[in-house]
Amino acid sequence: MSLSPPAPSGAPVSGLPSPFSAPQAHPASRLYIPPAPHYEYTPLFIKFHAVYKPETHKQTNFNLMQTSLGQRVRTRFAPSPTGYLHVGGLRTALYNYLYARKAGGDFIVRIEDTDQARKVEGADKDLLKTLELSGIVPDESIEHGGNFGPYVQSQRLDIYKQYCQQLLEQNHAYYCFATAEELEENRQLQQKQGMQPKYNRKWLPQHMGGDMPQGEIQKKLDEGAPYVIRMKVPDYISIMFEDIVRGPVEFDSATVDDQVLMKSDGFPTYHFASVIDDHLMEITHIIRGEEWLSSMPKHLLLYEFFGWEPPKFAHLPLLLNPDRSKLSKRQGDVAVEDFLNKGYSSEAILNFVALLGWNEGEGTEQEIYSLDQLIEKFSLERVGKAGAVFNIDKLNWIEKQYIKDRPTEKIISVIKPLLQEELGKKETEMDTERIQSDEYLAQVIELMRERVNFESEFVTFCDYFYFDPEEYDPAAVKKRWKQDTNEVLAEFITVLEDTDDFSADNLEAVLKAFVEPREKKPAFLIHPLRILNSGVGFGPSLYHMLEVLGKQTVIRRLKKGLERNVSK
């Protein structure tokens, strides 16, 4: 199988030193021949713009937030409707949102549905819904309207066609009739040779420096053969730009493939559509994941072709799995919906995700931020460069912090429906009206606030406030039951029956007064009382728990427990 090395290249066909037009040594395929060592390298050909100079970097945010035209700041989140909202996507959306809000600008959500095959019906609306549930509300979107619509790319096809035509006319783009098989074959051949897979420019027309005669192209066009349109990436120029989080980044155009702009189904590719839309929608700052960094040269080139001023770019570090690979579904939940369904609150999720890659810096010890505080304090210069592992423990802790401070009424409104659902599942011997009252729930909440991980646990984890226990934790029973426990307990029940004041203070006094002459410690009764009333060996202050449950319930549960003879 050997492919001869490239023949010593003769003089360039045209004035352009294009290696692509070098004579081919082997007929098997028209491979991309690596450039001769003496190619002409033109650094800084593209005049891209330094957004800020190192000196101004340290200055106020305000400078950074001004675009060079002093326009209104507009950011965008551009998901493709292929499924759920990813936590990484949520963070990207959040940073865009925070940045726009802080600058008093607009935050736009645009649906990038140029891949008809991967499109999932309804995913666009779901994405938006989850975003809003998380607390991020766009100013413009398919649902919110705006003056820059439509906000779905599939409804902007005419626009892309028009701009593509322009590129064709300006010789920045060309038709390509290569088949998928052909491309694949070429790719594999190149890979086998250890080369970067790249389109071989077979269909690059002669007048653009290639060697396909215009007649051939016209013939195919007349036949109605399927085609794509590719951009012609200039040879050997240096493309550089200043990334807000990463600083200067430079690419050599020789490593950039002739990107497909329009697919054979008439849809644009992401690269083409997003550049046009970002420009038309007057997006001033593109804040997106680092996975887009390597397509910067393509995008920048397009701005250059059109003569548009590019927006500022900020490429965010990736969110990582515990093994430090890009956060993926395989290693746990990644859908925002899943977290919401598990009971995490939107505030906690947002708070957590905001801190993954951003911090206020310099001596701050704050970990809990409201959305408003984030808006006030956020800045892109304080976004880190390194990827961050998604650490669920920290999220759990943040969630708890929020539960501690959440107003009782707010919690009640959430748990009431949950409670009703539980009550529908099984019978309770308690007064259903009472246990559903706000007053009762408020008491439960105060007792359990610091012991619960999620709001939903005010019902599930605290079920003994609504149902008599059916089982008693054997380990707890074993630990707390002594020889004469049942006996003493039986006696104490009769005391309780004569007690009308079931306030925590009084119960404590009663129990102490009962226990003292019998030469027992309070704990002798406290633990069994807890177990018979809750089924478990842990929980809130016993006296307060009994107070909330009420005399009737407590006595019923104690008698039941004695009958069941739990220690046996």
Partner RNA sequence: GGCCCCAUCGUCUAGCGGUCCAGGACAUCGCCCUUUCACGGCGAAGGUCGCGGGUUCGAAUCCCGCUGGGGUCACCA
Residues that are catalytic: 329
Measured from the CB atom, is 218 or 325 closer to RNA? Answer: 325
Question: Which DSSP category does 265 fall into?
Answer: T
For residue 425, the minimal CB distance to RNA (Å) is 25
Closer residue to RNA (CB): 459 or 507 = 507
Q: Whose Cβ is closer to RNA: residue 72's or residue 385's?
A: 385
The tokens for 442 are 């408020």
Query: Distance between CA 565 and CA 568 in Å, rounded?
Result: 6
Report the amino acid identity of residue 408: T
State the minimum distance, in angstroms, from the CB of residue 523 to RNA.
4
State the chain's maximal CA–CA distance in angstroms.
112
Nearest CB to RNA, comparing residues 114 and 443: 114
Place of tokens 């040269």: 297
Shortest distance in whole angstroms from residue 451 CB to RNA: 4
In the complex, minimum distance from the CB of residue 416 to RNA, in angstroms, rounded to a whole number:
23
Residue closer to RNA (CB basis): 143 or 290: 290
Residues written for the chain? 568
Among residues 37 and 307, whose Cβ is nearest to RNA? 37
Q: C-beta of 295: minimal distance to RNA in Å? A: 6
Burial class (CB in 10 A: 0-12, 13-18, 19+), 373: middle
Side by side, the strands of the sheet bearing 228-231 are 173-176, 228-231, 260-262
Q: Are residues 444 and 452 in contact, defined by beta-carbon separation less than 8 angstroms?
A: no
CB of 432 or CB of 451, closer to RNA = 451
Whose structure tokens read 């002798």? 524
For residues 160 and 279, what is the distance between their CA atoms, to the nearest angstrom? 12
CB of 475 to RNA, least distance (A): 11
Distance CA 88, CA 334 (A): 8
Both structure tokens of 277: 């839309």
Q: What angle do CA 512, 518, 522 make, to 5 degrees?
A: 35
For residue 289, give the 3-state DSSP assignment.
strand
Three-class SS of residue 453?
coil
Closest among 258, 238, 260, 257 to 249, alpha carbons compared: 238
Burial 313-326 (b: 16+ CB within 10 A, else e): bbbbbbbbbeeeee
What is the DSSP secondary-structure string of 30-92?
Answer: -PPPPPPTT---BTT-S----SS-HHHHTS-HHHHHS-TT-PPPEEEE---SSSSPBHHHHHH
Residue type, 9: S
Closer CB to RNA, residue 421 or residue 501? 501
Nearest distance, CB of residue 69 and RNA, angstroms: 27
> Smallest distance from the beta carbon of 127 to RNA, in angstroms?
11
Which of residues 103 and 260 has its CB atom nearest to RNA in the complex? 260
Distance CA 422, CA 429 (A): 14
Identify whether 268 is preceded by a cis peptide bond (ω within 30 of 0): no
Burial status of residue 203 (CB atoms within 10 A of its CB: 0-12, 13-18, 19 or more)? buried
CB of 311 to RNA, least distance (A): 17
The H or E element containing residue 552 is helix 551-564
Q: In the Cβ-directed half-sphere of 17, how many Cα atoms lie within 13 Å?
A: 13
- Which tokens hold the place of 64? 């950074």
